[in-house]
Structure 1
Amino acid sequence: MTPIGILERFERVGDVVAAACLLLMMGAISIDALGRFMGSPLQGAYEFSELYLMVIIAFLPLARSVVTGGQVRMELLLPVLEKVPGRAVYRATTALALAAFLLTLWVAVPEALDKIAERETSYGLVRWPLYMSYVWFPVGIVLLCLRLVAEIIRPAPVKPHGTDAI
C-alpha cells in the first residue's frame, strides 16, 4: 500500500470516528433534554459534548475535507488561476496553508503534552479529565498537514465547477 493510501485510510477512520461522535453527541443531548423535562437531567452531558465530542467532530475530519472539497473556498479567480502550468498557484497556496498549520501544531503539541502531564481536570459535579480533550486537536492537525504535503507533491485532479467530490 502506498503512503497516500495509508493516509486515506487514516482520514476515513477520522471521518467515521467524527460521525460516531456526532451521533453520540446528539443522543446525549437528546437524553439530557428529555431528562430535564422529566426532572432528572443527564449529569455531565453538556461538558462531555463540549470538551470531547465537539473537539473530535471539528478536527478529525479536517484532512478528508481537503480531498472532498468540504471546506469553504473562494473560487472567484479559480478559472484564471487554473491556467497556470503545473498547478503552481494551488501548490503555493497549499504550501502557505501547510506553514500555518505547522505553526499551529508547533504551539498545540507542547500545550497538549503539558495538560497531559498535569492531568488537568474540570471543576464541577463531574470532574472530567480535560487533558484527554487536548489530544484530538494535534491529531487532526497532523492528519491535515500530511494531506497538505500529499497535495503539494501530487495535487488532486481539478474538479469541474459546481460539482462536489465524494
Structure 2
Amino acid sequence: MHHPEAQVSYPTAGFRHVDRVLIGLEHIAVWFGIAGLGGIMLLVSADTLGRYFFNAPLQFQYELTSHYLMGMTSLVALSWGVRRGAHIRISLIDDFLGPRLRGLLFGFNFLLAAAVMAVICFYSAMEALRSWSDAEVFFGVVDWPVWIAHIWVPIGCGLLTLRLVFDGVLVIVDPAHATLLRATADPVNEVDAV
C-alpha cells in the first residue's frame, strides 16, 4: 500500500502494531537487498579490474552473484515495494467506484494475490528444505550450497504474503485506505523510505 506511515490512520491499535512490525521487517529486508546489490557491484567491479589489469579474475564471482546475490536482491524487497507503491497497477475503473466498493475490490485483489504468493512461498520453502536435507551443492570453483540460493524465494514471498493479507484486510475493514492506493508513487521521494 502506498502510504507514508505518518499519513495513515488505522481502525484499531492492533492494525497499527501489526503494520509497524511489517514495516520493520520490510526495512530489514530492504537492507539485505541493498547489501546484496552493493555486493554485486563490488564483486563484478573487482572481477573486471582483476581480469583486465592483473590477469587474475575472481573465480567465484559469477556463481556467488548469479546464484545468491541476484536472487536475494530482487526478492527480499517485494513487500517493501508493494507498500511504497513501487509496482505496476492498472486503475481502469477506480474513478467509477465508490469508496466501499473500491475497498472491497482492492481487498479481494490483495487477498487473491496473497493466496498465490502463499502457495509460491510454501512450495519454494519445501524446495529449499529438500535442498538442505539432501546437501545439494552447485559445483564450481567453490561447491556452494543450493539451499542458500533457494531460501530467498520463501523469505521474499512470505513477507509479501503478510503485507498483502494485511493490506487486503485493512481496505475491507476501512475502505478509506483504498484511496491511499490510488495515489501515485512519488519517484523523487521514494528513496527516503529506507
Q: CA deviation at 1:112?
A: 1.0
Match status 1:18 vs 2:30: no
Comparing 102-111 with 10-19, greater Cα deviation is found at 102-111
Amino acid at match of 1:76: L
Total equivalences in the alignment: 165
User: Residue 118 of structure 1 is aligned with which of 134, 137, 144?
Assistant: 134
How far apart, in 1, do the equivalents of 2:47 and 2:26 lie?
31
Q: Does 1:79 align with 2:95?
A: yes
What is the aligned partner in structure 2 of residue 158 from structure 1? 179
Q: CA deviation at 1:71?
A: 1.5
The 5-angstrom pairing of residues 25-64 of structure 1 reads 25-38=40-53, 39-64=55-80
TM-superposed CA distance for 1:108, in Å, is 1.1
- Does the Cα contact within 8 Å between 2:99 and 2:179 map onto a contact in 1? no
Task: Note the aligned Cα RMSD (angstroms).
Answer: 1.9
Contact 2:135 2:145 in 1 (8 A): yes
Aligned partner of 1:95 in structure 2 is 111
Taking the aligned partners of 1:31 and 1:143, their CA distance within structure 2 comes to 33
| 2:19 counterpart of 1:4 | yes
Give how far 1:9 is off. Answer: 0.2
Residue 10 of structure 2: aligned partner: none
Change (3 A) 1:75 1:157: closer
What are the Cα deviations for residues 67-92 of structure 1, in whole angstroms up to 9, with x where unaligned?
A: 101122223333234x2515111011
> SS state of the match for residue 163, structure 2?
helix
Unaligned runs of 5+ in 1: none
Closer/same/farther in 2, CA of residues 2 and 163 from structure 1, 3 Å limit: closer
Percent identity between matched residues is 27
SS of aligned partner of 1:71: coil
- CA–CA separation in structure 1 for the residues paired with 2:178 and 2:64: 40
Quote the offset at 1:161 in angstroms: 4.5
Residues 24-81 of structure 1, C-alpha deviation per residue, up to 9 Å, x if partnerless? Answer: 1101001111111021101111110111111111111011111101122223333234
Structure 2 residues without counterparts, runs of 5 or longer? 1-15, 172-176
Larger mean Cα displacement after TM superposition, 98-107 or 71-80:
71-80
